[in-house]
């Protein structure tokens, strides 16, 4: 897409624009240059997954363009990066006839099916060995895009294949879809593209965590999430879902009349390459050209193994005859092309029976219905318990005890009940009654307006106390190894541990008399508890389990204070001035610090030796790793992950989230997976072991 010279030029221009920090607008002669710079950085971020700019630097440049355009509205172009933003709500999604019918694909489930497909292709074409292009079958929602004279003019859903719904405004929220592309370089005037919109596993998880934190129903799975998102009437809401798109087919085109011939693309693989060159996220890196069906079968099997390591869901592979002339010869049925077939991976759905529903009390008092089902084996694990999230989910799905249900488990996504089979009901199924009182302490349950979750408001509720202790000790909070769910429950029942403070006052003599507790395990537990006392302040804030205060907010809060009890004096307004803190979060923090028993708990924790002060880490800036970036993958043998990361930071290094060309060191522990594979492909990254890391920082 960009030659080395162009990249160099864009980077120099970027630096120049960033330097003019004070400037609030720019000369009109520079406006298109600035747009190109923003497009380039969007491309690096959304297509290559390798950003060169920090978010705030991108924002600075974006605002500069926005301001200049606002002052000169006649200069706004339809493909300006600012034109993704929509004004107001979408009223309706008018019907949109496709230029070429959006056919489906024939399915295959095993190697015999693929061998049959290959035989049919060879018979019709009369060619002995066929070249195929194999690419992932993205598990999302199908879309069509029309570009005219290089501009994106219309986007639509698949609908019935003949016409879909017009969703252009929503599609513009997807940053990996360019608003314009140089089709004219290929003599193309009008093109219709096909692709798939998806939400990657990470963003899906994040979105659902936010939803549940706010007491809202989470989305069922990434596929439904993508499909549902395309039909939301508020484009701002669509943008929040962080959708992505893969584009894999040109289904229709017209050529520019004055030029001699249209695109001379002879192979499907070259078309994928051309789309990539035009700035689309096509499966350029994921596809493979293979000769003969045996090689295809092997590639499909290999891909099925690494399926879970991909950042997005795929439900199979698509096998396409690579030669476009042969594709034409093979033609299509009314349902699918004869030159392509989908190879579906083993199902991650199964049927089971809904035996009962239990109601669990969370640490913030939320009541979560949990379905107990007859155990089923799906995608490598046995599932017997599935969260139903809230009362509305039970009603929307019309679930009854005794129902035969369809269960799904997509990759590392938590299992989900898709639907009951109403047609299989015998009449003996029983309605599910939501409790009116807390199953743990019998207090009456409340539900706030506009919330879907019922809550027990009693602070003394034993179930909440246990959950709060579990959360406090958990890995991302105070990381007290060994003090897991089962042990907290057991200690609570034995009255050895009744609240968070109790962790630091445990009677180890009494614990020693319990079954299964040897000297060694007691020593380990003592050490883990002691070590937790020096956890940094942001971990303690997160560990307190204040409603709506996740890890990011905890870090933001810690940065604004010298001592945790300073927060007592923060007003709602003061809190809302902090990054990431809105009115809901601020209200919850104020509420926490208004309770005297919470203050007393914090004072006692400090007396017991916990770190309530914001101790600035002493950073060594002279060491070997100053300003070097690090990422850890796999399980480390000698260090805890948090210790290792801490060592990097105290030695002047920087922890990063993902593998990119900006990463200097990948430290590999046991069973490392996709990060290692990715890093191997970037030659500048140094891949080192845990021991080598310790040597590097002079610890061994």
Residues taking part in catalysis: 137
What φ, ψ does residue 8 adopt, rounded to 5°? -55, -45
CA 234 vs. chain centroid, Å, equals 21
CB of 248 to ligand IVH, least distance (A): 4
Q: Which stretch binds ligand IVH (CB under 6 A): 50-58, 334-342, 609-617, 631-639?
A: 334-342
For residue 420, give the H/E element and its range: strand 416-420
Which residues inside 247-266 make contact with ligand IVH, applying CB under 6 A?
A: 248-249
Write out the two tokens for 383.
């599932």
Q: How far is CA 223 from CA 141, 198, 349, 542, in A?
A: 7, 7, 14, 31
Alpha-carbon span 4 to 179, nearest angstrom: 23
Is residue 624 a contact partner of residue 694, using CB atoms and an 8 Å limit?
no
Nearest by Cα to 141 from 174, 111, 109: 174
> Least Å distance between CB 121 and ligand IVH?
15
Nearest approach, Cβ of 223 to ligand IVH (angstroms)?
11
Residue 536, Ramachandran bin (φ over 0: left; ψ between -120 and 50: alpha; else beta)? beta
168 burial level (CB within 10 Å; 0-12, 13-18, 19+): middle
| CA–CA distance, 647 with 248 (Å, rounded to integer) | 44
Q: Which is nearer to ligand IVH, 337 or 669 (CB)?
A: 337
Give whichever of 337 and 362 is closer to ligand IVH, judged by the CB atom. Answer: 337
Q: What DSSP element (H or E) covers 452?
A: none
Residue 552 beta carbon to ligand IVH: minimum distance, rounded to whole angstroms: 34
Half-sphere exposure of 318 (CA within 13 A, CB side): 25
Q: Could you give the string, one character per residue 210-249, with x where binding to ligand IVH holds by CB under 6 A and - elsewhere?
A: --------------------------------------xx
- Distance separating the N- and C-terminal Cα atoms of the chain: 46
- If one asks whether residue 104 binds ligand IVH (CB under 6 A), the answer comes out as yes
Q: Quote the CA–CA distance of 450 and 215 in Å, as a whole number.
A: 9
| Of 1, 99, 227, 342, the one binding ligand IVH by CB under 6 A | 342
Q: For the CB of residue 269, give the shortest distance to ligand IVH in the complex, in Å.
A: 12
Phi/psi of residue 169, nearest 5 degrees: -60, -40
Taking each helix axis from N to C end, the angle separating 201-213 and 222-229, rounded to the nearest 10 degrees, works out to 80
Q: Does the footprint of ligand IVH cover residue 17 (CB under 6 A)? A: no
Any contact of residue 207 with ligand IVH (CB under 6 A)? Answer: no
Q: Taking CB under 6 A as the rule, does residue 138 contact ligand IVH? A: yes
Cβ(344)–Cβ(315) under 8 Å? yes
* Chosen residue from 142, 269, 284, 322 binding ligand IVH by CB under 6 A: 142
Residues 71-100 that bind ligand IVH (CB under 6 A): none
The residues facing 437 across adjacent strands are 444
Nearer to ligand IVH, 142 or 269 (CB): 142
What is the nearest approach in angstroms of ligand IVH to the Cβ of residue 314?
A: 8
Instruction: For the chain, count helices (H), then strands (E).
Output: 24, 22
The residue among 335 and 638 lying less far from ligand IVH, judged by its C-beta, is: 335
The least distance separating ligand IVH from the CB of residue 173, rounded to whole angstroms, comes to: 20
How far apart CA 46 and CA 42 sit, in angstroms, is 6
Which of 64, 105, 394, 567: binder of ligand IVH (CB under 6 A)? 105
Stretch that binds ligand IVH, among 101-109, 398-406, 414-422, 513-521 (CB under 6 A): 101-109
Determine if 137 is a binding residue for ligand IVH (CB under 6 A): yes
Alpha-helical (H) ranges within 398-550 are 462-473, 485-493, 508-512, 519-532, 537-543
The residue sitting closest to ligand IVH, measured at its beta carbon, is: 142
* Smallest gap from residue 315 Cβ to ligand IVH (A): 8
Beta strands in 256-361 (DSSP E): 288-291, 314-321, 340-344, 349-361
Candidates 136-144, 201-209, 492-500, 539-547 — which segment interacts with ligand IVH by CB under 6 A?
A: 136-144
Residue with Cβ nearer ligand IVH (258 or 333): 333
| Nearer of residues 249 and 539 to ligand IVH, judged by Cβ | 249
Q: Least distance (Å) from ligand IVH to the CB of residue 105?
A: 4
Compute how many other C-beta atoms are within 10 angstroms of the C-beta atom of residue 322: 23
- Does residue 133 bind ligand IVH (CB under 6 A)? no
Task: Tell me which stretch binds ligand IVH (CB under 6 A): 130-138, 203-211, 570-578, 645-653.
Answer: 130-138
Residues 164-203 that bind ligand IVH (CB under 6 A): 194, 196
* Cβ closest to ligand IVH, residue 35 vs residue 194: 194
Choose the binding region for ligand IVH from 111-119, 137-145, 199-207, 349-357 (rule: CB under 6 A): 137-145
Report the distance separating Cα 273 and Cα 269, nearest Å: 6
Count residues binding ligand IVH (CB under 6 A).
15
E strands, 256-296, are 288-291
Dist CA 512 CA 521 (whole Å): 9
Q: Looking at 245, 274, 293, 318, which residue binds ligand IVH (CB under 6 A)? A: 318
Residue 103 binds to ligand IVH (criterion: CB under 6 A): yes
Q: What is the distance between the alpha carbons of residues 144 and 648, in angstroms, rounded to a whole number? A: 47
Q: Which residues bind ligand IVH (CB under 6 A)?
A: 103-105, 135, 137-138, 142, 194, 196, 248-249, 318, 337, 340, 342
């Amino acid at each position: 897409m960009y030659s080395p010279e162009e990249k160099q030029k864009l980077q120099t221009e970027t630096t120049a624009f960033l330097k003019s920090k004070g400037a609030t607008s720019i000369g009109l002669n520079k406006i298109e240059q600035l747009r190109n710079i923003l497009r380039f950085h969007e491309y690096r971020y959304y297509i290559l997954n390798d950003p060169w700019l920090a978010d705030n630097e991108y924002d600075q440049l974006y605002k500069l363009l926005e301001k200049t355009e606002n002052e000169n509205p006649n200069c706004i172009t339809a493909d300006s990066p600012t034109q993704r933003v929509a004004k107001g709500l979408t009223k309706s999604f008018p019907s949109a006839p496709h230029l070429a019918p959006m056919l489906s694909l024939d399915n295959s489930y095993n190697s015999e099916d693929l061998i049959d497909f290959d035989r049919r292709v060879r018979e019709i074409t009369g060619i002995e060995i066929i070249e195929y292009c194999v690419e992932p079958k993205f598990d999302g929602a199908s879309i069509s895009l029309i570009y005219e004279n290089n501009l994106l003019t219309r986007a639509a859903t698949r609908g019935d294949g003949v016409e879909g719904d017009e969703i252009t405004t929503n599609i513009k929220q997807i940053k990996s879809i360019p608003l314009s592309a140089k089709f004219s370089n290929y003599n193309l005037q009008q093109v219709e593209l096909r692709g798939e919109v998806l939400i990657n596993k990470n963003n899906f998880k994040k979105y659902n965590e936010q939803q549940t934190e706010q007491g809202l129903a989470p989305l069922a799975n990434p596929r439904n999430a993508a499909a549902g998102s395309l039909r939301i009437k508020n484009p701002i809401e669509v943008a929040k879902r962080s959708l992505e798109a893969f584009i894999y087919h040109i289904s229709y085109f017209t050529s520019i009349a004055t030029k001699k011939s249209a695109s001379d693309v002879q192979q499907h693989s070259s078309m994928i390459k051309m789309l990539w060159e035009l700035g689309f996220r096509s499966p350029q890196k994921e596809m493979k050209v293979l000769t003969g069906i045996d090689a295809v079968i092997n590639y499909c099997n290999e891909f099925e193994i690494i399926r879970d390591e991909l950042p997005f869901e795929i439900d199979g592979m698509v096998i396409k005859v690579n030669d476009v002339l042969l594709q034409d010869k093979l033609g299509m049925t009314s349902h699918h092309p004869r030159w392509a077939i989908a190879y579906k991976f083993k199902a991650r759905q199964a049927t089971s029976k809904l035996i009962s529903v239990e109601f669990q009390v969370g640490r913030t008092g939320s009541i979560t219905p949990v379905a107990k089902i007859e155990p089923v084996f799906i995608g490598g694990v046995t599932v017997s318990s599935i969260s139903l999230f809230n009362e509305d989910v039970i009603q929307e799905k019309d679930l009854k005890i005794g129902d035969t249900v369809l269960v799904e488990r997509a990759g590392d996504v938590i299992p989900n009940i898709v639907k009951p089979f109403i047609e299989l009901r015998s009449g003996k199924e029983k309605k599910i009654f939501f409790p009116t009182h807390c199953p743990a302490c019998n207090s009456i349950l409340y539900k706030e307006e506009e919330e879907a979750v019922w809550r027990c408001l009693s602070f003394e509720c034993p179930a909440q106390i246990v959950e709060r202790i579990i959360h406090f000790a958990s890995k991302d909070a105070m990381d007290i190894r060994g003090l897991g769910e089962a042990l907290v429950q057991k200690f609570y029942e034995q009255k050895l541990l009744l609240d968070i403070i109790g962790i630091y006052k445990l009677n180890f003599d009494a614990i020693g008399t319990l079954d299964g507790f040897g000297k060694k395990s007691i020593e380990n537990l003592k050490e883990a508890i002691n070590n937790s006392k020096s956890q940094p302040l942001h971990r303690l804030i997160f560990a307190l389990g204040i409603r709506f205060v996740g890890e990011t907010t905890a870090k933001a809060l810690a940065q604004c204070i010298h001592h945790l009890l300073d927060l007592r004096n923060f007003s709602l307004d003061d809190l809302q001035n902090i990054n990431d803190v809105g009115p809901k979060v601020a209200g919850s923090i104020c509420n926490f610090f208004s309770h005297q028993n919470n203050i007393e708990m914090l004072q006692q924790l400090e007396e017991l030796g916990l770190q309530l002060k914001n101790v600035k880490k002493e950073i060594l800036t002279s060491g070997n790793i100053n300003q070097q970036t690090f990422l850890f993958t796999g399980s480390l043998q000698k260090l805890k992950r948090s210790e290792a990361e801490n060592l990097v930071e105290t030695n002047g290094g920087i922890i990063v989230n993902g593998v990119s060309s900006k990463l200097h060191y990948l430290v590999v522990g046991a069973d490392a997976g996709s990060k290692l594979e990715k890093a191997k492909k970037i030659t500048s990254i140094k891949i080192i072991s845990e021991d080598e890391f310790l040597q590097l920082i002079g610890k061994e």
